[in-house]
């Protein structure tokens, strides 16, 4: 009964209701998929990062890198690529790290632009429904020659009010989802930057340790 009431209510909103609902479904699907992507990306390496951080801080870069070769998360990909130029040129290492940070963040932010667009389009669709509803109401007035009652105008008013409310509600929901998602992506970016800084520090400590060993041998 409630389902029938809801469907009949949406039907009164006219054809603009369905594009608004499509925006909400697509937007929520993007939100859930991106949250799952970020969750998996962090969970895949969470224990390893805690274990390997101590190796980096102690300057044991070689032991640190060995732990990452067996994983396939974003930090692992970034540091594996940086290891290919490690101890040759610090600037080259920084370029590689910056490139992979940007690449991983762009991958994490995939579809967020579409989510933002859906949040912006939803209230405009609601406004369009408002206009079409008022047009229908005025068409009824014109057809009746001005002799109308509230019941004759109800259809157009229903459409105008429902589409406005639905468009605004969907826009508020998707805007919240977008802001929350972007905050998680910024945290993800900060995590990558933190690991990149630790890697560079570990590389410098490792190089300094090798330099001292060579002096001692001389």
- The pLDDT assigned to 121 comes to 95
Over residues 184-218, the pLDDT tens digits come to 999 999 888 888 887 777 776 665 554 444 444 44
- The pLDDT assigned to 212 comes to 47
Q: How confident is the model at residue 159 (pLDDT cuts 50, 70, 90)?
A: confident
Segments making up each domain of the chain, as ranges: 15-204
- The pLDDT assigned to 182 comes to 95
Rg of the chain over all Cα atoms, to the nearest angstrom: 28
Q: What are the φ and ψ backbone dihedral angles of 69, each rounded to 5 degrees?
A: -65, -20
**Pairwise CA distance, residues 156 & 68, whole Å:** 63
Q: Which residue has the higher pLDDT, 162 or 31?
A: 31
- The pLDDT assigned to 32 comes to 95
Over residues 36-47, the pLDDT tens digits come to 998 888 776 666
- The pLDDT assigned to 43 comes to 76
- DSSP designation for 111: T
pTM for the structure as a whole: 0.78
CB burial readout 176-191, b (16+ within 10 A) else e: ebbeebeeebeebbeb
Contacts of 47 (CB under 8 A, 6+ apart): none
**Pairwise CA distance, residues 32 & 30, whole Å:** 6
Yes or no: say if 2 and 114 are a contact pair by the CB < 8 Å rule. no
DSSP string, 7-54: HHHHHHT-TTHHHHHHHHHHHHHHHHHHHHHHHHHHHTTHHHHHHHHH
Estimate to the nearest angstrom the gap between the alpha carbon of 175 and the chain centroid: 11
**Pairwise CA distance, residues 17 & 142, whole Å:** 25
What's the count of helices (H) and strands (E) in the chain, helices before strands? 8, 0
Over residues 45-98, the pLDDT tens digits come to 666 666 666 666 665 666 666 656 556 678 777 877 777 776 667 778 888 888
Q: Of 215, 152, 167, which is closest to residue 21 (Cα–Cα)?
A: 167
**Pairwise CA distance, residues 78 & 204, whole Å:** 18
């Amino acid at each position: 009964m409630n389902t029938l009431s809801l469907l009949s209510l949406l039907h009164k909103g006219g054809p603009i209701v369905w594009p608004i609902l499509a925006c909400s479904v697509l937007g929520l699907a993007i939100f859930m998929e991106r949250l799952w992507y970020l969750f998996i990306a962090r969970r895949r390496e969470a224990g390893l990062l805690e274990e390997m951080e101590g190796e980096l801080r102690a300057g044991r870069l070689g032991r640190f890198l060995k732990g990452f070769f067996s994983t396939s998360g974003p930090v692992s990909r970034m540091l594996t690529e940086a290891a290919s130029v490690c101890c040759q040129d610090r600037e080259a290492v920084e370029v590689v790290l910056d490139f992979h940070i940007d690449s991983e963040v762009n991958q994490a932010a995939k579809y967020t632009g579409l989510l933002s667009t859906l949040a912006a389009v939803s209230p405009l669709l609601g406004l369009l429904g408002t206009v079409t509803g008022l047009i229908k109401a005025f068409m009824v007035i014109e057809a009746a020659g001005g002799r109308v009652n509230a019941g004759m105008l109800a259809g157009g008013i229903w459409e105008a009010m429902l589409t406005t409310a639905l468009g605004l509600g969907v826009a508020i929901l998707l805007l919240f989802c977008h802001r929350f998602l972007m905050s998680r992506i910024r945290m993800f970016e900060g995590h990558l930057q933190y690991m990149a800084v630790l890697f560079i520090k570990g590389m410098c400590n490792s190089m300094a340790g090798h330099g001292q060993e060579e002096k001692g041998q001389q």
